[in-house]
Homo-oligomer: A and B are copies of this chain.
Amino acid sequence: MSHNSFGHLFRVTTWGESHGPAIGCVVDGCPPGIALSEADIQPFLDRRRPGQSKFTTQRQEPDQVRILSGVFEGRSTGTPISLLIENTDQRSKDYGNIAQSYRPGHADLTYDLKYGIRDYRGGGRSSARETACRVAAGAIARKLLPGVTIRGALVQMGPHAIDRARWDWDAVERNPFWCPDAEAALAWEDYLAGVRKAGSSCGAVIELVADGVPAGLGAPLYGKLDAEIAGALMGINAVKGVEIGDGFASAALSGEANADTMRMAGAQVVFGANHAGGILGGISTSQPIVARFAVKPTSSILTPGASVNALGEEVEVATRGRHDPCVGIRAVPVGEAMLALVLADHLLRHRAQCPGAPSGAILPRDA
């Protein structure tokens, strides 16, 4: 058990605070012989990096990753891979006013209640900065999943959802929101500019899709693939809800409407729909894995809110300094990374127990 590790066989342990000298993680259990260098990881960090548009925090961090171990002559050795990212832009003075006071809706209070001590600089351990480590580790996880494509998109910003009929994966890379609906993205620009100007914040919903996932990943009960995806996504800062496939909407469906019918195309099972989001009984079907998660609006806002401080005094708290009006934007690459981590871990677990299982939904199974 570990409070700062993810995964079982492909296992990531993260460490670091926002304003310490560095953050980093250790990736243990990576198979040997995988071509790997910083150049495989950096592009994913660059996607997550703040300060790239006016819609994310203006903190400027190069987020340059270094591999300190586990790679030799360009290939993984099977030993732990240590990744380190230095913190270079630490303006501690910006955050001095929350050293003693607790932002409403923020982890400030609970850290102090639990530990009796808290590195308040930049949110310390609870800073979104920690997610850089997840993104870096996720980049390695993707190398274990050669035929799998993992993509994320923002499908709702504040109260404004996309029109799914306009979904275009190519659009995602062409706007600062990872929005698959180009029209919605335009509207969001205005909306978010207003939120930012008001010193306010808004939430978001992100959808993740993993294509090409082999059948058979997961397990019937505690190690259910959907349960572990849910835990991984709910473990991202500020996430308050997680869905697989039709999610909450499935509650309103009839059994007939919810069933994904099956037909054969040669020896391959093909499905009439994907209400299940690619997972049945905790095990992947070979259909695309579809997951969504909701990110709440950040509690770092300019409007003073009624709060208390460490002395038990009533205060008004407002966040000065840099912040993200919609932290959900940067959660897109983080969500992708978490999904990659879960899939890589389950791939190793699956082949440990079922080494001869076919990767597709092929019938008869042992033909």
- For chain A residues 1-60, which have a beta carbon within 8 Å of chain B? 1-6, 8-9, 11, 13-17, 20-24, 26, 28-33
Q: Can you list the 8 inter-chain pairs with the closest CB atoms, starting with the nearest?
A: A107-B281, A231-B231, A201-B255, A312-B363, A203-B251, A110-B283, A352-B352, A104-B259
- For residue A65, give the distance in angstroms from its CB to the closest CB of chain B: 13
- For residue A342, give the distance in angstroms from its CB to the closest CB of chain B: 11
A111: B residues at CB distance < 8 A: 220, 281, 283
Query: Could you tell me if A230 and B234 are in contact, using CB atoms closer than 8 angstroms?
Result: yes
Q: Which of A72, A203, A221 has the most CB of B within 10 A?
A: A221
A257: B residues at CB distance < 8 A: 297
Given A13-B28, A251-B294, A353-B348, does the pair A263, B314 have CB atoms closer than 8 Å?
yes
**A113 in complex: contacting residue of B215, B308, B310, CB < 8 Å:** B215
Whole-angstrom CA separation of A283 from B112 in the bound complex? 10
Q: Which of A21, A247, A250, A285 has the most CB of B within 10 A?
A: A250
Query: Could you tell me if A15 and B70 are in contact, using CB atoms closer than 8 angstroms?
Result: yes
Whole-angstrom CA separation of A259 from B124 in the bound complex? 20
Query: Could you tell me if A259 and B78 are in contact, using CB atoms closer than 8 angstroms?
Result: no
Query: Could you tell me if B3 and A28 are in contact, using CB atoms closer than 8 angstroms?
Result: yes
Count class of interface residues, chain A: 35 or more
- In the complex, per-residue mask of A219-251: 1 if CB is within 8 Å of any chain B CB, else 0: 111111011111111110101111111111011
Whole-angstrom CA separation of A257 from B269 in the bound complex? 47
Query: Could you tell me if B2 and A283 are in contact, using CB atoms closer than 8 angstroms?
Result: no
Query: Could you tell me if B220 and A32 are in contact, using CB atoms closer than 8 angstroms?
Result: no
- For residue A227, give the distance in angstroms from its CB to the closest CB of chain B: 4
> How many copies are assembled?
4
State which of A114-122, A145-153, A162-170, A179-187 sits at the interface with chain B.
Answer: A114-122
**A234 in complex: contacting residue of B227, B313, B365, CB < 8 Å:** B227
Query: Could you tell me if A4 and B32 are in contact, using CB atoms closer than 8 angstroms?
Result: no
Query: Could you tell me if B246 and A281 are in contact, using CB atoms closer than 8 angstroms?
Result: no
Query: Could you tell me if A110 and B285 are in contact, using CB atoms closer than 8 angstroms?
Result: yes
Whole-angstrom CA separation of A178 from B106 in the bound complex? 33
Whole-angstrom CA separation of A239 from B286 in the bound complex? 19
Query: Could you tell me if A231 and B227 are in contact, using CB atoms closer than 8 angstroms?
Result: yes
A309: B residues at CB distance < 8 A: 363
Query: Could you tell me if A24 and B351 are in contact, using CB atoms closer than 8 angstroms?
Result: no
A200: B residues at CB distance < 8 A: 254-256
- For residue A248, give the distance in angstroms from its CB to the closest CB of chain B: 4
- For residue A158, give the distance in angstroms from its CB to the closest CB of chain B: 6
Whole-angstrom CA separation of A300 from B256 in the bound complex? 9
Query: Could you tell me if A2 and B5 are in contact, using CB atoms closer than 8 angstroms?
Result: yes
- In the complex, per-residue mask of A172-201: 1 if CB is within 8 Å of any chain B CB, else 0: 000000000000000000000001000011
Query: Could you tell me if A158 and B252 are in contact, using CB atoms closer than 8 angstroms?
Result: yes
A299: B residues at CB distance < 8 A: 255, 258-259
Given A264-B312, A267-B312, does the pair A306, B234 have CB atoms closer than 8 Å?
no
